[in-house]
Amino acid sequence: MLVEAHSSDIGPYARLDYYRQVLAQLRNHAAIKDHLMNLALASAQRPGRQLRDAAEWLDMREAVEYALERLHVKAVFIDEAQHLMRVETPFKPVDQLDWLKGMTNRTNVLHILVGNYELYDFRNLSGQAARRSRDLHFPRYHLESKVECEEFVGALRCLLERVPLICDLDDLLSHWRWFAEWSIGCVGILRDWVVDTVAALYEDGGTTLTIGTLKEYALQPDQRVRLEMEARAGEHKIEVGKARSQQQLEELLGKVLKTLERFFADFLLLSEQISRKIAARVPTPVESGTNQAPTLRFMSPYIALPQLETLRQPSLSSHISLNDDGSNHFLQQEQGFGPELCLHI
């Protein structure tokens, strides 16, 4: 399904316009006609009118959710999606993303936002929205790349082969660089250019598509300059944005690593100090026997307990208290699961 966000609809009204477009496309299906019978689309809220009732918004949303689920819609394409992010106080662009996230969660319908480079600024306004989205950049063709030049020629050939007029295909393809420069490498501009030229020739009774007729309907130099500037600005925005994000990530990870290094350095220093203090207070350990407490060995900078295998079997548990005067005594010995050491320094 395809809907288009209008520039005149801001914030919540963009949502209402989305609801209206979806229902307008699906309302004729027999599966949802009865459900929509009581919903008056003709009297729905429009920009400029006073909001009648919040229930009306809820009814519209519930009707859309029902229609999308009932008809098993797989995806909704929102064209000109940059308009969807235009809001007024107290709303924020992230509110629109949260709304789309909620619609996706409730209906399990994929929402695909399509727009110009303005949309790039709204991709990662929140972590919840960012982790649920994927970015797909469709760049224009660049004449500096041999591979992209070949791909552009292939796209141009595919387009010209479908022109319902007489044309010298080989001659037109020999001017591929001219097509690329005058369309600034954008297939969309190239398509509109060829379609407009063919339509004008039909109206005038023409039968042949030539370079001369294409020049008549090409974009003017000032128009191409504007498009070229916007395209370069958008490409630069993406390049700089990716580089900045990578730098910020490396800085954050670097700070975390430095913090962990300081933590472990302090921990090792503290454990060494504790080991020395314990070694100075605890008498020489005795050899462990059948009826003796488990052997305790102190290895700077770590405190080593008996082997881990003993943790799996019931054994005597020794609680040792180190008093302020340096003496020590066994508080108790009881049956337990593995050695347990309670230190009071």
The answer to which of 237-246, 276-285, 314-323 has the lowest mean pLDDT is 314-323
54: pLDDT strictly greater than 90: no
Give the per-residue pLDDT at 79. Answer: 93
Strands of the chain, DSSP E: 2-4, 75-79, 110-113, 297-299, 302-304, 314-322, 328-337
Most confident residue range from 6-20, 153-167, 326-340: 153-167
Please report where in the chains the tokens 């591979």 appear, as a residue.
Answer: 147
Distance from the Cα of residue 301 to its chain's centroid? 45
Most confident residue range from 180-189, 294-303, 307-316: 180-189
The answer to which of 109-113, 278-282, 326-330 has the lowest mean pLDDT is 326-330
Give the per-residue pLDDT at 325. Answer: 46
Of the pLDDT bands very low, low, confident and very high (cuts 50, 70, 90), residue 42 is very low
Rounded distance, CA 261 to CA 247, Å?
21
Of the pLDDT bands very low, low, confident and very high (cuts 50, 70, 90), residue 28 is confident
Mean pLDDT computed over 140-165: 94
188 HSE (CA, 13 A, CB side): 6
Question: Which tens digits make up the pLDDT trace of 160-218?
Answer: 999 999 999 999 999 999 999 999 999 999 999 999 999 999 899 989 999 999 999 99
SS3 312: helix
Phi, psi angles (nearest 5°) of residue 249: -65, -45
pLDDT: which is higher, 284 or 107:
107
- Helices (H) then strands (E): counts for the chain: 11, 7
Structure tokens that stand for 4 in this block? 């288009």
What is the pLDDT of the chain when averaged over all its residues? 78
The answer to which of 35-39, 146-150, 289-293 has the lowest mean pLDDT is 289-293
Give the per-residue pLDDT at 327. Answer: 43
User: Are 3 and 18 a contacting pair, CB within 8 Å?
Assistant: yes
252-264 b/e (C-beta count within 10 Å ≥ 16 → b): eeeeeeeeeeeee
Question: Which tens digits make up the pLDDT trace of 241-259?
Answer: 888 888 888 888 877 667 7
Structure tokens that stand for 174 in this block? 């020999």
Mean pLDDT computed over 223-250: 91
Percent of the chain with pLDDT over 90: 41
Percent of the chain with pLDDT over 70: 75
User: Cis ω on the peptide bond leading into residue 90 (within 30° of 0)?
Assistant: yes
26: pLDDT strictly greater than 60: yes
> Residue 319's closest CA among 303, 331, 305, 301?
331
User: Cis ω on the peptide bond leading into residue 139 (within 30° of 0)?
Assistant: no
User: Are 165 and 213 a contacting pair, CB within 8 Å?
Assistant: no
Of the pLDDT bands very low, low, confident and very high (cuts 50, 70, 90), residue 105 is very high
Mean pLDDT computed over 284-299: 46
297: pLDDT strictly greater than 50: no
Phi, psi angles (nearest 5°) of residue 177: -65, -35
106: pLDDT strictly greater than 80: yes
Give the per-residue pLDDT at 284. Answer: 53
pLDDT: which is higher, 266 or 1:
1
> Residue 231's closest CA among 183, 264, 196, 192?
183
Give the per-residue pLDDT at 46. Answer: 45
Rounded distance, CA 305 to CA 13, Å?
68
